[in-house]
């Protein structure tokens, strides 16, 4: 294993990818005490104008993974590159945070999980909504609505229309991760169908319906797509005594309904990506060898693969 990271020093992060989401990481890391962006892998010359003066920008992502002045890696590239880059980080014994979805195939997700365990290298998966303060408050509030019975999730936007990744793999990872996290179990039954499909300039426009059955007779219905206007990110949990409603687009993001009484629930707000990077840096600092989000990431990929198989029939 590498030398221990001292508690006094900044955690030096290497970022792979500086597209729209990678740029959010750049902005987020600037705001966090105890972290520093040491290197970014990007082929866009404009990236150098976005990073701090002491951060270098290089074209070769492997050079960032291998750099002596990088403590941990963040992978914020298109999904088809996740498996190769995360595996390289594991081989170099660099803790790595991988954006969702973990990979685009179950086989590569299983490989990453196995190698992470064998080498005791931390791998976290960036299911960002799990770091949302309103969602975390929802999970803590579940006992107040009695026994969980049904989850309804609806998310999407107009676009993006990608040539390499469908809306299923773009949007559904968040909803699936939230459902599994709330139920604390994987579904025993998965059914999926495509409700809309049309060619859009630059890629495909689609909407999907996913039905899940969990242990304890809990069910979930998920609708996702990139043909949705306006933007949606809404999840409702129905229990035997009441309902919790999380709406990340609304001003009041978390509502509790018990009988006829409805109220907004308060929580300490922080941007989900800020929480995600802060918790990743803390895991690196204290040399945690594993994180539950890797297993969750593999479970999400497995469900997506099952959905895709059914849709293609």
Q: Domain ranges for the chain, please list them.
A: 11-128+273-289, 129-270+304-312
Is residue 223 pLDDT above 50, yes or no? yes
Predicted local distance difference test score (pLDDT) of residue 37: 98
Q: Do domains 11-128+273-289 and 129-270+304-312 have the same CATH topology?
A: no
Is residue 3 pLDDT above 60, yes or no? no
d(CA 231, CA 249): 7
For residue 289, the SS3 value is coil
The runs of H, that is alpha helices, within the chain are 20-31, 61-66, 82-91, 106-119, 133-140, 167-183, 272-285, 292-312
Beta bridge partners of 204: 199
d(CA 87, CA 104): 14
Predicted local distance difference test score (pLDDT) of residue 8: 64
d(CA 21, CA 8): 29
d(CA 210, CA 190): 7
Pull the structure tokens for residue 83.
Answer: 């498996």
Pull the structure tokens for residue 254.
Answer: 């978390």
Q: Mean pLDDT score of the chain, rounded to an integer?
A: 95
Could you tell me if 13 and 283 are in contact, meaning their C-beta atoms sit under 8 angstroms apart?
Answer: no
d(CA 233, CA 135): 11
**Superfamily of domain 129-270+304-312 in the CATH hierarchy:** Dihydrodipicolinate Reductase; domain 2 (3.30.360.10)
Could you tell me if 235 and 255 are in contact, meaning their C-beta atoms sit under 8 angstroms apart?
Answer: no
List CB contacts of 32: < 8 A, sequence separation 6 or more.
Answer: 274, 277, 278, 281
Closest CA to 111 of 298, 289, 292: 298
Pull the structure tokens for residue 42.
Answer: 């990007």
CATH topology of domain 11-128+273-289: Rossmann fold (3.40.50)
Is residue 1 pLDDT above 70, yes or no? no
Predicted local distance difference test score (pLDDT) of residue 202: 83
Task: Look up the pTM and report it.
Answer: 0.94
pLDDT, tens digit (0-9, with 9 covering 90-100), for 257-285: 999 999 999 999 899 999 999 999 999 99
């Amino acid at each position: 294993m590498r030398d221990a990271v001292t508690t006094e020093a900044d955690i030096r992060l290497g970022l792979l990818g500086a597209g729209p989401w990678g740029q959010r990481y750049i902005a987020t890391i600037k705001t966090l005490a105890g972290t520093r962006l040491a290197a970014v892998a990007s082929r866009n010359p404009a990236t150098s104008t976005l990073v701090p003066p002491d951060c270098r920008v290089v074209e070769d992502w492997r050079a960032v993974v291998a750099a002596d002045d990088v403590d941990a890696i963040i992978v914020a590239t298109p999904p088809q590159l996740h498996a190769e880059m995360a595996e390289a980080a594991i081989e170099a014994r660099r803790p790595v945070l991988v954006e969702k979805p973990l990979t685009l195939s179950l086989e590569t997700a299983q490989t990453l999980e196995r190698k992470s365990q064998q080498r005791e290298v931390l791998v976290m998966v960036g299911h960002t909504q799990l770091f949302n303060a309103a969602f975390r408050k929802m999970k803590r509030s579940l006992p107040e609505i009695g026994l969980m019975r049904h989850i309804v999730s609806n998310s999407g936007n107009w676009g993006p229309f990608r040539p390499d990744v469908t809306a299923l793999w773009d949007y559904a990872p968040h909803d699936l991760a939230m459902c599994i996290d709330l139920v604390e179990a994987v579904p025993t039954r998965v059914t999926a169908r495509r409700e809309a499909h049309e060619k859009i300039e630059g890629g495909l426009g689609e909407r999907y319906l996913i039905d899940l059955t969990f242990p304890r007779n809990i069910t979930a219905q998920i609708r996702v797509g990139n043909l949705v206007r306006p933007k949606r990110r809404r999840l409702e949990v129905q229990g035997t005594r009441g309902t919790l409603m999380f709406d990340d687009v609304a001003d009041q993001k978390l509502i509790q309904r018990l009988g006829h009484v409805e109220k907004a629930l308060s929580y300490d707000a922080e941007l989900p990506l800020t929480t995600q990077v802060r918790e990743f840096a803390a895991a690196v600092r204290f040399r945690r060898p594993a994180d539950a989000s890797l297993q969750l990431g593999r479970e999400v990929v497995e469900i997506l693969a099952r959905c895709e198989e059914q849709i293609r029939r």
